[in-house]
Amino acid sequence: MSMAVPPVGIQVPGTFPSLALNVLVLACVFLLTKILHNLYFHPLSKYPGPKIFAATSLASSYYLFRGTRAYRISELHNRYGPIVRFGPNELSYVNEQAWKDIYGSQKASTGIQLKKKARVTPMSYLSLFPNPSDEAHNRLRKVVAPGFSEKGIRDRETLLQQHVTSLILKLSEKSGNPVDLIWWMDCTASDNLGDMVFGQPFGALETETFPEVLHQADASLKELAFNILYEQYLLGKIWTKIRERFTPRRVNSFFPSFVAENLQKRGKRLAEQGGNGAEVNDINAGTSRGLQPEEIAVVSVDLMIAGADTIITALSLQALSHEIRSTFESESDMTLAALQNLKYLNAVLNESLRLFPAAPETTRRVTNPGGNVICGDLIPTAVGVYYWAAGHNASSWHKVESFIPERWLGDDKFKDDARGVVNHFAVGPRNCVGQTLALAQMRLFVARLIWNFDMELCDESKKWWGMRTFVLTYAKPPLMMKLKPVVRFLFAKTLAFGVLYADLLT
């Protein structure tokens, strides 16, 4: 008796579901094995931190997506100490030595490299700031550095003063009414930025309109956070590719088109004035190392993105009335050189930058194959010093959450403060090229505002802190202030004598 043979081509029931189940089981086993490896066998397993952060990068990604990762990492440092593992392959440091080991000058064969992450601009392969090539970065930096030197800033002082004067006049027109001081300072900085990059202001103060290009620059900084998030996961990478594929060309070409158009206009103006138009608006003045046209465009975009937000973020509107108003006899005496010598003003800026750093997170570095020695240990992974965590670490600062400029002036109460754990503009060959300009602008803004106005914080801005962060920037809400013009004592005394004299005549 013969057995019946099943017809060819007919599937045995349950084969596909069984295959799917096997794949699912294998995936679960793989994930479980990966988690166990991360927790107990990974080279970073000995470092403290929450288990959920060590097991998977999803925890860090969650806080990054919410815009609170900088605050969360700060909390972890206060709980676990100066070294925290906040991802399977990432360590955060709050340590003076870590700045030197991670960001300091090192030989090319042993130096820690800038981590290749998400793009900020369509042309970032040439970019000054995220460029992972030391050779390319150093060449571009040498070109732009003279414009940000002490001499370069002094040469631009007249323009800086003019923009601040325009700000004071605009605010005087609105005295007595609530104004968003952050918005007005951003407008002032943007006009100076336009002058610096393209040879003319954006017209933000004159038109009371923030330039669209700087809205786009700010959006690029915020998008960086999400690009970092997407590139950690396969689905995120696929989504990024799809988005790039279907993004209209006009959107991707916004920065290049804007820069090319304005550099062309600048070239024409320089030609009419006898210039050659080959510089990034005097940024590379004093050096024979010129840029190629595409590099000029890229550096211009970099300067707009870097300058659009971070210069103004650090300001703290505390009472400097005594020092500012007693040191100078007139507003015209407030030169950049004179302001640089004001000890209390500098202490206020240092304390402001400690509590509210211009960039809340970190510029990550990746150790070389085989690892690099950081704080005495061989580390084979991604590392960084988080600016917010460094300034808010309870082990490093007495009265850590209090705004006390005196801690920077040698007060014995704060002699144990570890001031070396904060470096406002980073250290090493990739530190902030524009730090001299940033400090000059902050001193000038604060001093002239306090010279001209008494300021009162509006009720709606009394809980201004706690805003979302996006790696290198903040989602700042309006900072509403009421400004009242200062009545100079000499004027008040003259007025009093005038009234008395009028009374005597009647």
Q: Which residues are annotated as a binding site?
A: 432
Give the closest residue to 479 by CA, choosing from 457, 502, 447, 506.
Answer: 457
DSSP 41: I
- Coil, strand, or helix at residue 114? strand
Q: What is d(CA 377, CA 375) in angstroms, rounded to the nearest whole number?
A: 6
Helix (H), strand (E) at residue 92: strand 90-93
- Coil, strand, or helix at residue 135? helix
Cite the annotated binding site for heme by residue number. Answer: 432
Contacts of 134 (CB under 8 A, 6+ apart): 108, 111, 429
Q: Sign (positive/negative) of CA torsion 226, 229, 235, 241?
A: positive
- Which residue in this structure is represented by tokens 């605050």? 71
Between CA 65 and CA 77, with CA 71 as vertex, the angle to 5 degrees is 125
Contacts of 270 (CB under 8 A, 6+ apart): 199, 276, 277
Cβ pair 291, 280 in contact under 8 A:
yes
Count Cα neighbours of 175 within 13 Å in the Cβ-side half-sphere.
15
